[in-house]
């Protein structure tokens, strides 16, 4: 791996949304070449947004014109409804992760394989996944945006691979997410006057219950910065199908026991309003990012995740054949 930007954020700036409190933050670990790599070509295809329960209502009429709602049959069952939305000249897909209702299905029971397979089948190459985790550190505030760069997967009962009972699928997970998507999303948020913490570790728990105080202490000790239930196995499945994937998180609460002092009713009301404001702002942010992402050239290793298996002749180019 060529030398990269090491411990600095890709923008080289310190994130502004987080207080200068003494708690340490996991610095970005990404070490990737963001310039064109030999053998990689710039690419573009429809982008998919996977949204959490708090933002699904935006898909109805706030993100663009809904031209179609698809339910794709896949080898893993039917996908959740996928919205085909036109924003100006840009078509994109929006997937309400938890179904066509705020929480028709909770995180452990989402059919992640059907969603990712369906998006690949629709020609998508880039996925931006929204998630509303809880903060494990008080340095994060309710409503803050964060672009994590690593995962701690503590899920237990989820189908986490397309390649069950097959002899391939041993894939590196560094960088954890598409470094180019991170760069473009970070720049897009900045242009909108929104700072996002770049880097950090998102711990994924099984749910649907929330974490115990002891579990939260363990996650903090392990270096995690936020905790949620949705990015795994979603991110791993995207890699198996050679898709670019990056999460955008907005902090929704504090995990159990993180807040040392109970918030006053006024403080809670302020936080609720701040979160609501941020969620509503996504109606502006998502279309802006769609334009930004569509215009960006992509030079990243994601489309070649399975290259070594292709070179060995284990699999061909058609991903549908990999899974049969």
Q: 274-313 mask for Zn ion (x: CB under 5 A)?
A: --------------------------x-x-----------
Could you tell me the smallest distance in angstroms from the CB atom of residue 181 to Zn ion? 6
Q: To the nearest whole angstrom, how small is the minimum distance from the Cβ of residue 218 to Zn ion?
A: 31
Q: What does the alpha-carbon distance between residue 270 and residue 291 come to, in Å, rounded to a whole number?
A: 32
Tell the smallest beta-carbon distance from residue 175 to Zn ion (Å).
9
Binding flag, residue 48, Zn ion (CB under 5 A): no
> Is 229 a residue that touches Zn ion (CB under 5 A)?
no
Of residues 180 and 230, the one with the C-beta less far from Zn ion: 180
The mark string for 120-159 relative to Zn ion (x by CB under 5 A, - otherwise) is ----------------------------------------
CA distance 32 to 4: 5
The CA-to-CA distance between both ends of the chain, in Å, stands at 33
With 0-12 CB in 10 A as exposed, 13-18 as middle and 19+ as buried, what is 89?
exposed
Stretch that binds Zn ion, among 24-32, 138-146, 174-182, 249-257 (CB under 5 A): 174-182
Binding mask 183-202 for Zn ion (x = CB under 5 A): --------------------
Which spans in the chain are helix H?
A: 58-61, 112-121, 179-191, 213-221, 234-240, 265-295, 307-311, 319-323
> At closest approach, how far in Å is the CB of 153 from Zn ion?
20
Please identify, among the stretches 30-38, 152-160, 223-231, 243-251, the one whose residues bind Zn ion according to the rule CB under 5 A: 243-251
Contact indicator for 12, 37 with CB cutoff of 8 Å: no
Give the nearer residue to Zn ion in terms of CB position, either 2 or 193. Answer: 2
Convert 22-35 to b/e letters by CB count within 10 Å (16 or more is b).
eeebbebbbebbbe
Asked, as a colleague might, if the bond just before 259 is cis with ω within 30 of 0, I would say: no
* Residue whose CB is less far from Zn ion, 302 or 323: 302
Measured from the CB of residue 206, what is the shortest distance to Zn ion in angstroms?
Answer: 28
* Strands lying side by side in the sheet with 201-205: 150-154, 201-205, 226-228, 134-135, 253-254
How many residues in the shown chain lie near Zn ion by CB under 5 A?
A: 4
Nearer to Zn ion, 244 or 290 (CB): 244
> CB 304 → Zn ion: shortest distance, Å?
10
State the nearest-atom distance from the C-beta of 292 to Zn ion, in Å: 15
Of 72, 164, 173, residue with least CA distance to 124 = 72
The residue range among 69-77, 132-140, 178-186, 192-200 that interacts with Zn ion, by the rule CB under 5 A, is 178-186
Nearest to 234 by CA among 226, 225, 246, 222: 246
| DSSP letter, residue 16 | S
Q: Which residues bind to Zn ion, rule: CB under 5 A?
A: 178, 244, 300, 302
């Amino acid at each position: 791996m060529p030398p990269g930007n090491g411990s600095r954020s890709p923008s080289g700036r310190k994130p502004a949304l987080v207080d200068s409190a003494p708690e340490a933050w996991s610095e970005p670990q990404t070490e990737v070449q963001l310039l064109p790599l030999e053998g990689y070509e710039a690419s573009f295809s429809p982008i998919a947004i996977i949204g959490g329960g708090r933002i699904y209502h935006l898909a109805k009429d706030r993100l663009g014109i809904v031209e179609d709602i698809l339910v794709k049959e896949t080898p893993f069952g039917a996908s959740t409804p996928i919205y085909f939305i036109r924003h100006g000249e840009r078509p994109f897909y929006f997937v309400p992760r938890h179904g066509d209702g705020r929480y028709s299905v909770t995180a452990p029971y989402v059919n992640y394989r059907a969603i990712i397979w369906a998006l690949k089948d629709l020609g998508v190459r880039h996925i931006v996944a929204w998630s509303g985790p809880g903060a494990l550190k008080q340095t994060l505030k309710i409503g803050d945006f964060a672009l994590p760069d690593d995962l701690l997967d503590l899920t237990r009962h989820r189908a986490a691979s397309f390649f069950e009972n097959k002899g391939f699928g041993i894939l590196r997970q560094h960088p954890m997410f598409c470094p180019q998507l991170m760069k473009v999303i970070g720049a897009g948020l900045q242009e909108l006057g929104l700072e996002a913490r770049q880097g950090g570790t998102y711990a994924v728990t099984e749910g649907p219950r929330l974490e115990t105080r002891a579990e939260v202490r363990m996650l903090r000790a392990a270096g995690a910065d936020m905790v949620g239930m949705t990015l795994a196995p979603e991110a791993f499945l995207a890699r198996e199908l050679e898709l670019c994937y990056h999460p955008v998180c907005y902090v929704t609460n504090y995990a159990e026991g993180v807040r040392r002092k109970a918030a006053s009713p006024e403080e809670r009301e302020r936080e609720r309003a701040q979160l609501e404001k941020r969620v509503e702002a996504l109606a502006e942010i998502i279309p802006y990012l769609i334009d930004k992402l569509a215009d960006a050239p992509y030079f990243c290793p994601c489309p070649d995740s399975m290259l070594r298996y292709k070179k060995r002749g284990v699999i061909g180019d058609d991903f549908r054949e990999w899974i049969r």
